[in-house]
Amino acid sequence: MEPQLKTVIDKVVAEFAISDEFLRKATDKFIASMDHGLASGPSKEHMPMIPTYVTDIPNGKEEGLFLAGDLGGTNFRVCSINLKGDHTFDLKQSKYKIPLDLMKNSTSDELFSYLAAKVEAFLEEHHKDYKDNDHLKLGFTFSFPVYQTSLNRGTLIRWTKGFDLPDLVDKDVVELFQKHIELKKIKVNVVALANDTVGTLLSRAYSNNPDVTKSNTIVGAIFGTGTNGAYFETFDRIPKLDSSKFKGKGMVINTEWGSFDNNLTILPNTKYDEIVDKETANVGYHLFEKRVSGMFLGEILRVTLIELFKEDHIFVDLYKKRGGSLPHRLSEPWQIDGEVLSYIQIDDSTDLKMSELVLQNHLRLPTTKQERLVIQALTRAISHRAAYLSAVPLAAITKRVAPQYENDDKDFEFGLDGSVIEFYPGFQQAVMEAIKIIDPLKGSPKQIHLKIAKDGSGVGAALCASTAK
Ligand code: BGC
């Protein structure tokens, strides 16, 4: 890179750096924020820490046929799951793309009518005889912040990840789903509501046989379009819940860690992060998610490139050549998919020729070698920050639950799902590296393992449904 440009880029890259000291401090801050969230009602400052009314972690012996409906990103997934009671299951599933005009500028009735129609289509295709049988039980994975008041009741707190249908806020999402299922006379009862992270935790716990893996599953987490995690908390540490009403030792908590440190007391905050936040429908909320998850990585890169362009460091000739414009996928928000970054991340071809093709094909963006070097340096800085930040909640929860397993010598594992953790090159390694720096189990021989629990949320919803009366 030309020395002058290099000085500028080095400075920007440094803004995305995460120090070892930060990792340790942020982990302690995360634990403190968990305590606040478990003690008090909703506040912007602390994570919601939502009780899920799931009081047992599966042991692999659960049985029966259940349905799951999964809404949380660009697709609605319907599955039927036959739990066989031996850590295994059979699964049939169909995915339906959510039309963009049902994600915003529409009504929740229209969206839920679409979801009910897809449940019907799925049953017609895979379970033709369902009309002759009893009502099937459905677990609804709804992966947005919801205040749950029972296993099958919960109201939407706010939309995330680009959805924006304001009329659903504060309304019960199960009631609405059931209403549209009944309007279509489908023989299905929605008996459980689950976040995708809760589903991932339960499904990994179902598949995991601790006698074989020598590990207990302690977290279910998603690093995909959005990010979040769930874990099992003991009742004595959930002051906001009247535990006398429940059997057992504790309950699964949906942390909604996307909202960790919305007040920005510790999270890194660059001018690029501020610009991205302003472009979203939930400004000032989910600020941790906006630095970590797949929906935002491409946008942070785009905004950073545009700022460097405005300062005359890159794309100056391109702009002139085009008569005073930049390609629209660079100038308009949300046009750079995380997938594009994953190719650039690992490009080691001469003169970054592979990136040249990717940028041309995906963004219609012609680049010089200098510009590609800039783009790659920024891509790596942004994704490295995301991976290191991702380690914070995982390490914090590990530290917090360790006492629950005092008399158990098995290792710990996390059940993880989502495009970023599954596919982004080097992401898992970087997360592990940061966890090692934090060292949440200092002095203990226990190891930590990352396990991909692919499409776990559907099976998890079925497991939730299996516990419903
Ligand atoms: C939502 C969570 C969800 C996560 C991952 C976040 O935006 O608030 O409820 O678990 O995305 O899908």
Active-site residue, 158 included: yes
- Residue to substitute in 52, 160, 219, 282 for testing ligand 1 pocket (most ligand atoms within 8 angstroms of CB): 160
Cβ-contact 440, 27 below 8 angstroms: yes
Which residues lie below 8 Å from residue 141, measured CB to CB, with a gap of 6+? 68, 69, 70, 71, 72, 194, 195, 196, 199, 457, 458, 460, 461
CA of 275 to the centre of ligand 1 (A): 21
- Percent of residues, the chain, with pLDDT higher than 90: 90
Q: What is the pLDDT of residue 372?
A: 98
Which value, in Å, is the radius of gyration of the alpha carbons in the chain? Answer: 23
Would you say residue 74 has pLDDT above 90? no
Would you say residue 41 has pLDDT above 90? no
Q: Which atom of ligand 1 is found nearest the CA of 72?
A: 12
Q: What is the mean pLDDT of residues 302-313?
A: 98
pLDDT tens column, 422-438: 999 999 999 999 999 99
Active-site residue, 35 included: no
pTM over 0.75: yes
Q: What is the pLDDT of residue 1?
A: 87
- Three-class secondary structure of residue 128 per DSSP: helix
Please report the DSSP string for 399-456 in residue order: HHHGGGGTT---EEEEEEESHHHHHSTTHHHHHHHHHHHH-TTTT----EEEEE-TTH
Distance CA 348, CA 345 (A): 9
Q: What is the pLDDT of residue 72?
A: 85
Q: What is the pLDDT of residue 203?
A: 92
- State whether the beta carbon of 72 lies less than 6 angstroms from ligand 1: yes
Q: What is the mean pLDDT of residues 266-284?
A: 97
Q: What is the pLDDT of residue 454?
A: 81
Q: Which atom of ligand 1 is found nearest the CA of 289?
A: 7
CA of 196 to the centre of ligand 1 (A): 7
Distance CA 52, CA 67 (A): 19
CA of 256 to the centre of ligand 1 (A): 7
Q: What is the pLDDT of residue 96?
A: 95
User: CA 449, 208, 467 angle in degrees (round to 5)?
Assistant: 125
Would you say residue 455 has pLDDT above 80? no
Cβ-contact 78, 122 below 8 angstroms: yes
pLDDT category of residue 130 using cuts at 50, 70 and 90: confident
- Which of 139 and 56 is assigned the larger pLDDT? 139
- Residue to substitute in 141, 144, 158 for testing ligand 1 pocket (most ligand atoms within 8 angstroms of CB): 144
Would you say residue 79 has pLDDT above 90? yes
- State whether the beta carbon of 160 lies less than 6 angstroms from ligand 1: yes
Active-site residue, 24 included: no
Choose among 384, 271, 264: nearest CA to 17: 384
- State whether the beta carbon of 282 lies less than 6 angstroms from ligand 1: no
- State whether the beta carbon of 207 lies less than 6 angstroms from ligand 1: no
Cβ burial, residue 443 (10 Å; 0-12/13-18/19+): exposed
Cβ-contact 192, 461 below 8 angstroms: yes
Q: Of residues 33, 80, 108, 158, which has the active-site annotation? A: 158
- State whether the beta carbon of 256 lies less than 6 angstroms from ligand 1: yes
- Percent of residues, the chain, with pLDDT higher than 70: 100
CA of 255 to the centre of ligand 1 (A): 10
CA of 467 to the centre of ligand 1 (A): 23
Compute the mean pLDDT over every residue in the chain, rounded to the nearest whole number.
Answer: 95
Strands 250-254 and 227-234: antiparallel
pLDDT category of residue 123 using cuts at 50, 70 and 90: very high
Structure-token match 């598949």, residue found: 207
Q: Of residues 143, 215, 293, 383, which has the active-site annotation? A: 143
